[in-house]
């Protein structure tokens, strides 16, 4: 019998659509000769629903929208292992006595051997889904609960990177409670610590959602307010001008393999915002056209960053390269990097001769390996 892979996508985060784009490629890439695949979409409200679509014929494109009225499924531990269950139709209590008996039964949809959570951001990349999978005993692709939670939270990530001695951009934090008590005091404090421009970011988001570049007190105020709409903690960073953005792919467990960095070249947008990432054509240069010692520093920092947060399986480590001062700063680590055709993670591997299908196959193998070790 072939191992059965559960592909989870969609989800509650603002990156729902990005996840659907990533998941299409993953479903396309999983080798049907080796694995059976079951696809479950998570709605924006967090309900799991069985997706009846088959294997996509092409990698490009998205998946059918996760239907709000689809049938609910759940993953449970049973005497014979973790299994996917189709739940009875939701019943409105007053009508319970007229419900068709068949529709009132839970249906076993079979065992699950491994899960590929293709989910970005909160409730997917942050350790919550990983905790659910771990508790029912399903091995999964990617970082464990603790590493996911640290990596998704820019404040905790920065603490861990600082402890590992990694170079980062100067930053500070604003907490919602302090802001609500004394916004003027918070603004004055930030202005005393960091020069404009600054970037404001929600601590736990991705895809540039809630991020602003601020150049004066009023735009800083607006930036903090906006970011506080996503998280009770906001990161304020010194804004770097004339910066180049390099990103390394990492896969593996104890001895991860690290790619040469690729470069995202953004034209038009003032920074690499959501539109630039997904709606406008972006130029990816793989490998990046930078001096060899910059490539080596990126790889070295990527290995340290991966180890520092305790990542497993895969991650993308992102850098700011300042050509004038020849500095490489670590920006962030993403434990479920975008896997869309516009994303950086697949082509940095292709540039080293690892095709997308081979990459996905390795990720599933690393997940099995990690679960055997921990057993």
Q: Which residues bind ligand ADP (CB under 6 A)?
A: 169, 199, 201, 205-208, 211, 237-240, 243, 245, 271-272, 318, 331-332
Q: Output 201 or 362, the one with its CB closest to ligand ADP.
A: 201
Pairing state of beta strands 114-118 and 313-322? unpaired
For residue 116, which phi and psi values (nearest 5 degrees)? -115, 100
Instruction: Look at residue 114 and give the partner it binds from Mg ion, ligand ADP, none, a contact being a CB closer than 5 to 8 Å depending on partner kind.
Output: none
Instruction: Single out the segment in contact with Mg ion by CB under 5 A; choices: 24-32, 169-177, 334-342, 346-354.
Output: 334-342
Q: How many residues bind Mg ion (CB under 5 A)?
A: 3
d(CA 47, CA 138): 19
SS3 state at 265: strand
Tokens 């736990």, residue located: 204
- Residue 154 C-beta: closest distance to Mg ion, Å: 8
Which CB, 75 or 233, lies closer to Mg ion? 233
334 or 343, CB closer to Mg ion? 334
Q: Which does 128 bind (CB under 5 to 8 A by kind): ligand ADP, Mg ion, none?
A: none
Residue 243 interacting partner from Mg ion, ligand ADP, none (CB closer than 5 to 8 Å by kind): ligand ADP
d(CA 312, CA 146): 11
Which stretch of DSSP H or E encloses residue 173? Answer: strand 171-175
What phi and psi, each to the nearest 5 degrees, are found at residue 82? Answer: -70, 130
CB of 334 to Mg ion, least distance (A): 5
Which residues does 13 contact at the CB level (< 8 Å), separation at least 6? 19, 119, 120, 121, 122, 123, 124, 125, 206
Rounded distance between C-alpha atoms, residue 326 and residue 296, angstroms:
13
Minimum distance of ligand ADP from residue 91's CB (angstroms): 41
Sign of the torsion formed by the C-alpha atoms of 138, 254, 302 and 156 = positive
Nearer to ligand ADP, 120 or 362 (CB): 120
Q: Give me the least distance between CB of 206 and Mg ion, in Å please.
A: 4
Q: Which of 56, 82, 202, 206 is the binder for Mg ion (CB under 5 A)?
A: 206
Paired strand residues for 313: 252
* Residue ranges that bind Mg ion, judged by CB under 5 A: 206, 332, 334
């Amino acid at each position: 019998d072939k191992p059965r892979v559960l592909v989870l996508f969609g989800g509650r985060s603002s990156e729902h659509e990005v996840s659907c784009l990533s998941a299409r490629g993953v479903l396309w890439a999983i080798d049907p000769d080796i694995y059976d695949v079951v696809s479950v979409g998570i709605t924006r409200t967090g309900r799991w629903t069985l997706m009846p679509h088959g294997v996509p014929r092409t990698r490009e494109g998205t998946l059918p929208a996760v239907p709000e009225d689809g049938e609910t499924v759940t993953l449970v531990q049973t005497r014979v292992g973790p299994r996917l269950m189709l739940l009875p139709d939701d019943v409105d209590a007053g009508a319970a006595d007229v419900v068709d008996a068949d529709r009132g039964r839970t249906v076993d949809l079979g065992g699950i051997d491994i899960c590929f959570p293709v989910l970005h951001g909160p409730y997917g990349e942050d350790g919550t889904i990983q905790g659910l999978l771990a508790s029912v005993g399903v091995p999964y692709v990617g970082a464990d609960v603790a590493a996911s939670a640290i990596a998704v939270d820019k404040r905790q990530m920065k603490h861990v990177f600082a402890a590992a001695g990694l170079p980062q951009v100067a930053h500070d934090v604003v907490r919602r409670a302090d802001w609500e008590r004394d916004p003027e005091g918070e603004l004055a404090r930030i202005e005393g610590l960091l020069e404009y421009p600054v970037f404001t970011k929600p601590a736990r988001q991705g895809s540039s959602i809630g991020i602003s570049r601020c150049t004066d007190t009023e735009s800083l105020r607006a930036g903090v307010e906006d970011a506080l709409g996503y998280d009770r903690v906001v990161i304020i960073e010194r804004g770097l001008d004339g910066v180049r953005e390099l990103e390394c792919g990492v896969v593996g467990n104890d001895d991860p393999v690290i790619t040469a960095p690729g470069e995202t070249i953004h034209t038009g947008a003032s920074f690499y915002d959501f539109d630039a990432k997904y709606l406008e054509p972006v130029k990816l240069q793989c490998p990046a056209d930078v001096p060899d010692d910059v490539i080596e520093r990126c790889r070295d920092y990527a290995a340290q960053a991966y180890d520092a947060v305790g990542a497993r399986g895969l991650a993308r480590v992102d850098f700011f390269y300042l050509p004038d001062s020849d500095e490489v700063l670590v920006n962030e680590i993403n434990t479920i990097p975008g896997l869309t055709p516009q994303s950086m993670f697949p082509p940095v591997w292709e540039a080293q001769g690892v095709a997308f299908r081979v990459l996905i196959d390795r990720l599933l193998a690393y997940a099995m390996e990690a679960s055997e070790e921990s057993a």
